Structure 1
Amino acid sequence: MPDTTPATLRLATRHDFARPLVLILGDQLSHDLASLKQAPADSVIAFCEVEEEGRYVPHHPHKIAMMLAAMRHHAQELRECGWQVHESRLEDPDNLQRLTGEAERLAALYQCDGVLVTRPGEWRLLDDFLARREAGSVRWEVLEDTRFFTTPAAFAGWAEGRKQLRMEYFYREQRRDTDLLMEGSEPAGGKFNHDHDNREPIPDDFHAPPPPVHAHHADATTREVLTLVAARFGEQASDEERHFGSLENFNWAVTRAQARSDLAHFLDHCLADFGRYQDAIEDSDPFLFHSRLSAALNIGLLSPQEVCSAVDTAWRRGEVPINSAEGFIRQILGWREYVRGIYWTRMPGYKRENRLEASRNLPEFFWTGDSGMRCLDQAIASTREHAYAHHIRRLMVTGNFALLCGVKPEALCDWYLAVYVDACEWVELPNTLGMVLHADGGLMGSKPYCASGKYIDRMSNHCARCQYSPKKVTGPHACPFNSLYWHFIERHREALSRNPRMSLVYGSWRRMKDDKREALLQQADAFLARLDSAADYGSDAHRAGYYAAPSSLTTDKESS
């Protein structure tokens, strides 16, 4: 096996195949893909739908349906452009149901002199492709993915010699390099970051625009995929094969035209209010002013350059305020590029990080949504129904809960990878392991993103309808977040108390009366004991097999 550590890994920028089989993955549905742009005219373009990729974690049916429908539409587009295209359909009897095996079978079938592929979005696939390059019976070549603002090699150059890899500094350089939201050499509005203006809760009289609606019912290709996914992974599948999630509300872009329509909808109806309300949570609306463009970006239907350029243009025309434009561009030009750099320069060891030594299994109510905590259950219900929850629900509700309870990083990372439609590992893993769980020892975040029930009460209207009160810290109706927060603070006192950004918190903890501290710790201990008891969480229907949680996501397993 070749040395594929980040320090030595350099992917090709060119190939020498005469007639390759060009393997296009489900997150590479772009006409600007490096392998497609370099493909000779008589190449065979291959799309391989395989069972292995649908089940290595139990992906939400929305995610599987979106990707398969988008792949089939993109394959047809390429045919219309004159390419010879082969589609290995999931239901084909001769499909080997393994990605590398199926690609090599097709290369032999079409007498191609090798398999050409662009860098995938997961280390496990890249590692597999590079292994085949060295030991396979068919030649493989892996090209660098040029569809991002930066490359892993460029990020590694930026990170070299830095003790802390703070996104803010990376983001400022990206702004200067791209000229996005810049006025000459100065940032628009006089500063690079307008996050201070983006923390407003939703007002009582707000009206969010409805999300865009796609006419999937008029599209035979998408209808065919929805039927297939429902039978194999969805409501019609057997208990053993059924994945968490319903297809009933499927409403994701599966063509570039639909994705561009979603972008226009966001610019016209959401972007102006996105900034100030981006951290807010609303009991009745899972989408608010968020764009819902991340899935289309991550599978290639939109490019990050065109999305950021469109937002920059809207600001320059005076159509949106600077805090909204900057807050959105920071998510793509800043965070999206930054976490990709972290992923590719730190894998494969990054996935095994667990600096806080978290050891608790994922609670079963992450699948059933019956914890009794309204904020948590609403986030899980949105995830089940839409394969979606916006970033604050992920970070400060489900993620905050997992952090405070000490859930194992691999368990939560695999859950996020499974249940969200936009979850590709390169973007999901650093966000979950680094930002949500602080498991990388502060590489990404200068302090843990943890909070008590007061934060959720301030940024949402969940608490008014919850059986627990954020104003109570002990007793049967006290919000569990309150005691869990202080339990976390005490549990990790040795590791975190020397962090300057945690000094005020630990000062408050030290000044608290002994009996109050003890009551908080006992309250949290009792909650965690109930959490660990299988008899006290999870519904009977769930234990009978409905939306069964895979054992790999709920029980001890070796980190991969």
Structure 2
Amino acid sequence: MVKLILVLGDQLSPDIAALRRADKAQDLVVMAEVAAEARYVPHHPKKIALILAAMRKHADRLRAAGWQVAYSRLDDPENAGSIPGELLRRASETGATRVLATRPGEWRLIEALEQVPLELEILEDDRFLASHADFDRWAEGRKQLRMEYFYREMRRRTGLLMEGDAPAGGKWNFDQDNRKPAADDLFLPDPLRFAPDKAVEEVLNLVEARFGENFGALHPFEMATDAEQAEAVLTYFIDTALPCFGDYQDAMLKGRPFLYHSLISAYLNIGLLDPLETCRRVEAAWKAGRAPLNAVEGFIRQIIGWREFVRGIYFREGPGYLDRNLLGHDRDLPALYWGGETGMACLSQAVAQTGEHAYAHHIQRLMVTGNFGLLAGIDPKQLHEWYLAVYADAFEWVEAPNTLGMSQFADGGLFASKPYISSGNYIDRMSDYCGSCRYSVKTKLGDGACPFNLLYWHFLSRHRDRFSANPRMGRIYATWDRMAEDRRDAILTQGDAVLDRLAAGEPV
């Protein structure tokens, strides 16, 4: 009897687990563009357009391979508006009673599928290198979960950058070599761009009509929307940007949002690229002498280390992870995150490029928008929903642990040994933002003082009971204690004033 084979918008891989278990001769692939998925947060128009265009092209590829595909477009008047509703509609049309699905990457959708009154089988998403059972076995009995040790296990398992039992180059991690500030250079590579074809233009018109009021620019739209284009982006990165990726992966420049980054995370996360094959191609570039080890190791660590690690955390911790707020932060997300006025050049740059491209690299997310959110005491769930909405590569399994755990310390240090906070000095060192800022990064107190400088000490003071005993933060508190009392009082008073302006909806 016919089964319904569910393929979601981030499962656009030709050999996804559910398809491998299906019978091409009789089963029906169900794909659906639905309002519930487009609107559960106010997604960036570029993100919506990428997923819908890639879904339509993937459906065509499946049909060309001999699959029967029932595809629902967002503007189909019969569209039920949700994934469960579309499954029930197709079941009614075909008489199917069974659904075969590959595990979704968000708890809310897993729970919704489990409520569908059909026989449901959910298969492991084996596009990832570590299964949930693999990760749980590794994590069992550990008081703290540290990515570095997990990453070493993944290196051993995959054989990537290994020389027998030892890491290539004698070290597991070359991160210390990857923190150079970049200078603006006319020869920085421009990203590979794709002109919209007819199928993409149809999607763009639909997205503009339905989601044109969402934060972010839809046009120009130049992203890859099928596997061939995504492979071209990867090849272009390896050929043009990988050699410098490691050195400058933490750097930030005004008006140069892409630098030497790969720009493939969205394509990995929706299934247009295979993560292990991607890593092997990058490793091959090092073996051929086309890229240095620090660049290749840093790239591979992001995929088989961080990407796999945060997914393991997300599924191990369960749906309640989204409500973690150990520090009790409850300030509403300021308007500046949606493009509101701010005098802070770093935040202005990061948010503006996010609006334009649905993209910012990891340091802009962690040490600019994330750092400010943590220092200012913003509600971590609101910040989580913002990241989920505005970035094209953001799906909850990868975004939530990075935001709630690594960035906001809302999980109490489950996998971060200390909060990722800094004053303005770090941003000044890694960027050219501060030179054009209304505030002075060198000014620690008084008129024109950088809000990062004030809020850094304000955060440490108000959370002293929690962090003063942290071995990685003892020296910081010793510095605070050596300050004159009147200086400490002035910093806290001026920090209060920054927070009061935020609470009143005034620009900072």
TM-score computed with the length of structure 1 as normaliser: 0.89
Residue of structure 2 in register with 1:187 after alignment: 167
Secondary structure in 1 aligned to 2:115? helix
TM-aligned CA deviation for residue 459 of structure 1: 0.4
Give me the whole-angstrom Cα distance separating, in 1, the residues matched to 2:404 and 2:220. 29
Q: 1:302 to 1:518 in 2, by over 3 A?
A: same
Secondary structure in 2 aligned to 1:377? helix
Q: Extract unaligned runs of 5+ from structure 2.
A: none
Match for 2:99 among 100, 106, 115? 115
TM-aligned CA deviation for residue 208 of structure 1: 1.5
1:60 aligns with 2:38: no
Secondary structure in 1 aligned to 2:172? coil
Matches within 5 A, 1:47-446: 47-132=31-116, 136=117, 138-205=118-185, 207-216=187-196, 219-234=197-212, 242-446=213-417
Residue of structure 2 in register with 1:23 after alignment: 6
TM-aligned CA deviation for residue 419 of structure 1: 0.4
TM-aligned CA deviation for residue 131 of structure 1: 2.8
Deviates more, 1:111-120 or 1:465-474: 111-120
Q: What is the identity, as a one-letter code, of the residue corresponding to 1:176?
A: R
Q: 1:26 to 1:113 in 2, by over 3 A?
A: same
Give me the whole-angstrom Cα distance separating, in 1, the residues matched to 2:140 and 2:199. 47
8 Å contact kept, 2:184–2:253? no
Q: What is the identity, as a one-letter code, of the residue corresponding to 2:225?
A: V
Give me the whole-angstrom Cα distance separating, in 2, the residues matched to 1:110 and 1:38. 19
Q: 1:205 to 1:214 in 2, by over 3 A?
A: closer
Secondary structure in 2 aligned to 1:331? helix
Match for 2:23 among 37, 40, 59? 40
Q: What is the identity, as a one-letter code, of the residue corresponding to 2:204?
A: L
Give me the whole-angstrom Cα distance separating, in 2, the residues matched to 1:196 and 1:369. 36
Give me the whole-angstrom Cα distance separating, in 1, the residues matched to 2:274 and 2:130. 13
Q: What is the identity, as a one-letter code, of the residue corresponding to 1:112?
A: A
Q: What is the identity, as a one-letter code, of the residue corresponding to 1:34?
A: A
Give me the whole-angstrom Cα distance separating, in 2, the residues matched to 1:427 and 1:440. 15
Q: Extract unaligned runs of 5+ from structure 1.
A: 1-17, 235-241, 539-560
Residue of structure 1 in register with 2:439 after alignment: 468
8 Å contact kept, 2:195–2:221? no
Give me the whole-angstrom Cα distance separating, in 2, the residues matched to 1:81 and 1:50. 25
1:507 aligns with 2:478: yes
Secondary structure in 2 aligned to 1:279? coil
Q: 1:204 to 1:21 in 2, by over 3 A?
A: closer
Give me the whole-angstrom Cα distance separating, in 2, the residues matched to 1:78 and 1:408. 43
TM-aligned CA deviation for residue 111 of structure 1: 2.1
Q: What is the CA deviation profile of residues 181-232 of structure 1, one whole-angstrom value per residue up to 9, with x for unaligned ones?
A: 111111011000000000000135463100001122xx11111000100010
Deviates more, 1:269-278 or 1:99-108: 99-108
Secondary structure in 2 aligned to 1:461? coil
Residue of structure 1 in register with 2:457 after alignment: 486
8 Å contact kept, 2:242–2:296? yes
8 Å contact kept, 1:193–1:326? yes
Q: What is the identity, as a one-letter code, of the residue corresponding to 2:463?
A: H
TM-aligned CA deviation for residue 348 of structure 1: 1.3
- Identity percentage of aligned residues: 56
Q: What is the identity, as a one-letter code, of the residue corresponding to 2:407?
A: V
Deviates more, 1:348-357 or 1:198-207: 198-207
Q: What is the identity, as a one-letter code, of the residue corresponding to 1:82?
A: G
How many residue pairs get aligned? The number is: 507
TM-score computed with the length of structure 2 as normaliser: 0.98
Q: What is the CA deviation profile of residues 160-180 of structure 1, one whole-angstrom value per residue up to 9, with x for unaligned ones?
A: 000010000000010011000
1:449 aligns with 2:432: no
8 Å contact kept, 1:48–1:103? no
Q: What is the identity, as a one-letter code, of the residue corresponding to 1:52?
A: A
Give me the whole-angstrom Cα distance separating, in 1, the residues matched to 2:149 and 2:167. 13
Give me the whole-angstrom Cα distance separating, in 2, the residues matched to 1:91 and 1:131. 25
Give me the whole-angstrom Cα distance separating, in 2, the residues matched to 1:126 and 1:210. 39
TM-aligned CA deviation for residue 152 of structure 1: 1.1
Give me the whole-angstrom Cα distance separating, in 2, the residues matched to 1:252 and 1:444. 33
TM-aligned CA deviation for residue 314 of structure 1: 0.6
TM-aligned CA deviation for residue 369 of structure 1: 4.0
Q: What is the identity, as a one-letter code, of the residue corresponding to 2:263?
A: R
TM-aligned CA deviation for residue 249 of structure 1: 2.7
Structure 1 stretches of 4+ moved >2 Å: 203-207
8 Å contact kept, 2:102–2:124? yes
Give me the whole-angstrom Cα distance separating, in 2, the residues matched to 1:350 and 1:97. 27
8 Å contact kept, 1:129–1:142? no
Give me the whole-angstrom Cα distance separating, in 2, the residues matched to 1:206 and 1:450. 32
Q: What is the identity, as a one-letter code, of the residue corresponding to 2:5?
A: V
Q: What is the CA deviation profile of residues 455-497 of structure 1, one whole-angstrom value per residue up to 9, with x for unaligned ones?
A: 1000000001111111001223111100000000101000000
Give me the whole-angstrom Cα distance separating, in 2, the residues matched to 1:381 and 1:114. 46
TM-aligned CA deviation for residue 143 of structure 1: 1.1
Give me the whole-angstrom Cα distance separating, in 1, the residues matched to 2:91 and 2:166. 52
Secondary structure in 2 aligned to 1:501? coil
8 Å contact kept, 1:369–1:378? no
RMSD: 1.1
Q: What is the identity, as a one-letter code, of the residue corresponding to 2:42?
A: P
8 Å contact kept, 2:146–2:416? yes
8 Å contact kept, 2:343–2:507? no
